[in-house]
Structure 1
């Protein structure tokens, strides 16, 4: 019977370990090598694999494992930034479907292209690079971690033509060195290089299901009461606890809010729980963040709602200034937002911070943002 092997995966040796486990018929749960031992112990207790292979290659049999189904390939653990982590079960069929769809959408040339993976293998954004390269029989270089100089050397000296990056990493390289760059993991910058595509997807979809707002082959997208719902062969089989989040007819409710624009492209507003209702008006943080992110005085920004006795919720901008000695003022940020969005979307509070709490893929961890001190802070 197949078993679930939890394994620390990093670099090319981690990829080889994954495929060795698959050759034996087992499923794999990638473990991030950056996790401290207590976090690894909690993860193993929650996901209940059969064995654990640590970074040195030592194998430990674990008690009371949960079984896996024949055909299961992966258990990918979500980041847990908005709640308890979940183990997302993918089959070899869903892995192949994702690899096929993304490869076709990018027009991968098996003779000329070469993938570079520089994101963690414990996250679907990184591992999917390796898996689509394997499916397409395309060479793939795997870095242990993102390093701007190594990324550029991979492109200019070793022939890498394709890669996936988070927005913060994109800003640290010369993107023209690659043929195509997939950007995901966090909100993209307003100004993108012409060879970049913005991906939409999540752990439950195994990788992207849309590039630049267009569904990939085999993907169906619908909007139900403002929520994005997905259907396609790359969806998860279930969660590790056995729960299947799909509807009886196969649709996966994402809890992401979205809409179709006039060109028929999907616009993702963000998690439905992030919606700010201020004075009875709906304000999506991502829209405000995009505008404020273009302000020269703003290095990084997160927008959220805080309780307000007059407005119900007030819009708050948490800003990392470009220049700590000359931070932006609330009034100028409000004016910038009003040039592009309705006045009710302009922030009523500004809080300056040295950095934003982010996950390893660059997503802002909203639960760790400062609680605030009251209206009018600046």
Structure 2
């Protein structure tokens, strides 16, 4: 079954319903389906092996993903923020491709790779103009690859993650009810098109027949303005976006946000202070923490609105701590915590998070990462409490091994963030002659405060944790490096601590 069925069903059920609003232009579900079928013709004629998007979010992203699906060609959105050298290397891995977007840049860095290059405007226009008669269409059945995404490469070179039609449909059909959105429902999409969260937001909203409102380039003021102008009911943000929205509102930014009923977040660790403020700023909205990966076709665990409200209102430290959790596995997946030898660990004991389910691909162009029983090692470290709530403590690769003792960077960072002068913090491994690895920390000082003395931070960690967690190296920095999805780039912090 082809993911294009999602758009076909929506267009058949409500062809005149507004499906997309982008930069003032409105598209119905019928418009989008016609354009996707036109894109199919362009892709077929170009004889390419991939369809790539090098652009911000726009109607071209939706037309391209469904046009590629109909043609049986993998859709591969690319990170336009990458340096030229890195981007050229990725383009070479998908040649020949129909590349949509930054025509000048692709021509400049990859002119000899055999790509067909179209600007966003030219692609969208040609797709609308090239609609064949119904009896000439032979669309792909959807038995192969739908999407190829290059992983963010926060700890290593990007891998080509493969998502098949069956994986994506397994997620959508298992979590979204067809046609469940009211005609007034509107989802604000600000996640980049090359991230799985952006793709799953499009697929799920289309299947629900929700109006999609795109904000190609994020700013908190523009976000608040669109919420008011389009009466947004649903929104997805990454933690850094939510922090900026709350900060802007604290400084006087305005916008009527009463329409917001649901705010989902994910993509990185949410600071407790930020979610506390957001819950108070948006009292009518239900908050959901969504945890997932590219290789799992998006969400595998959710902390829902009731859990957020209960945690905020509770005096029980155990219940309040759930605000820092990822929630519980969704019904269509299984999650296990395993130790270094592959053994399943009991509640409360940290290890690596494994996940299994129809939506889980675990497949790369290079090879599959699934074990013999279909389990995918996420490389995320965490634990499950006795009530089934999943807690994340960082990437398994980020674990600091000091003299044979495994340490979670997350627990050290959480303690540092309790200091009134610390706005942000990162802990990671630094080389140690005596211990092999030791703890290093990079700290961002809060505005209006003086940087705390190193001994003050060491005493805080020693008191709250134990002496083995006390850092050997401390650096004070203006800001920590995050990617656009709010993921902390620890490899860059390690470079700073190495100097």
TM score, norm. by length of structure 2: 0.67
Cα distance, 1:6–1:110 mapped onto 2, change above 3 Å? same
**Aligned equivalent of 2:338:** 224
1:344 offset after TM fit, Å?
3.1
**What aligned pairs does 1:136-151 form with structure 2 within 5 A after superposition?**
136-151=208-223
Cα distance, 1:365–1:372 mapped onto 2, change above 3 Å? closer
**Aligned equivalent of 1:188:** 270
**CA–CA distance in 2 between the matches of 1:184 and 1:245?**
23
Cα distance, 1:229–1:208 mapped onto 2, change above 3 Å? same
Unpaired runs of 5+ residues, structure 1, are none
1:268 to 389, 392, 413: 392
1:185 offset after TM fit, Å?
1.6
User: RMSD of aligned C-alpha atoms?
Assistant: 3.0
Matched, 1:71 2:196: no
1:343 offset after TM fit, Å?
4.3
**CA–CA distance in 2 between the matches of 1:237 and 1:331?**
44
**Aligned equivalent of 1:240:** 365
1:160 offset after TM fit, Å?
1.4
**What aligned pairs does 1:196-215 form with structure 2 within 5 A after superposition?**
196-212=287-303, 213-215=327-329
Assess if the C-alpha contact under 8 Å between 1:47 and 1:240 holds in 2: no
Unpaired runs of 5+ residues, structure 2, are 1-43, 116-141, 250-256, 280-285, 304-326, 340-350
Higher share in helix = 2
Matched, 1:43 2:168: no
Cα distance, 1:290–1:39 mapped onto 2, change above 3 Å? same
Say which one has the larger Rg. 2
**CA–CA distance in 1 between the matches of 2:192 and 2:84?**
18
Assess if the C-alpha contact under 8 Å between 2:430 and 2:497 holds in 1: no
Residue aligned with 1:185, SS: coil
Assess if the C-alpha contact under 8 Å between 1:330 and 1:348 holds in 2: no
Cα distance, 1:298–1:235 mapped onto 2, change above 3 Å? same
Assess if the C-alpha contact under 8 Å between 1:8 and 1:31 holds in 2: yes
Cα distance, 1:113–1:329 mapped onto 2, change above 3 Å? farther
1:117 offset after TM fit, Å?
0.8
**CA–CA distance in 1 between the matches of 2:57 and 2:237?**
16
Q: Which moved more, 1:200-209 or 1:173-182?
A: 173-182
**Aligned equivalent of 1:27:** 74
Alpha-carbon deviations, 1:133-173, whole Å to 9, x = none? Answer: 11221111111121111211222221212222111111122
Assess if the C-alpha contact under 8 Å between 2:181 and 2:209 holds in 1: no
1:368 offset after TM fit, Å?
1.4
Q: Which runs of 4+ in 1 moved over 6 A?
A: 57-61
**CA–CA distance in 2 between the matches of 1:333 and 1:113?**
48
Cα distance, 1:259–1:130 mapped onto 2, change above 3 Å? same
**CA–CA distance in 1 between the matches of 2:436 and 2:86?**
38
Matched, 1:166 2:238: yes
**Aligned equivalent of 2:37:** none
**CA–CA distance in 2 between the matches of 1:246 and 1:165?**
30
Matched, 1:157 2:229: yes
1:41 offset after TM fit, Å?
1.6
**CA–CA distance in 1 between the matches of 2:188 and 2:196?**
15
Matched, 1:120 2:234: no
Matched, 1:298 2:422: yes
Aligned length: 368
**CA–CA distance in 2 between the matches of 1:87 and 1:324?**
44
Alpha-carbon deviations, 1:213-257, whole Å to 9, x = none? Answer: 21112111112212211111111262123x111112211111222
**CA–CA distance in 2 between the matches of 1:276 and 1:96?**
38
Assess if the C-alpha contact under 8 Å between 2:49 and 2:95 holds in 1: no
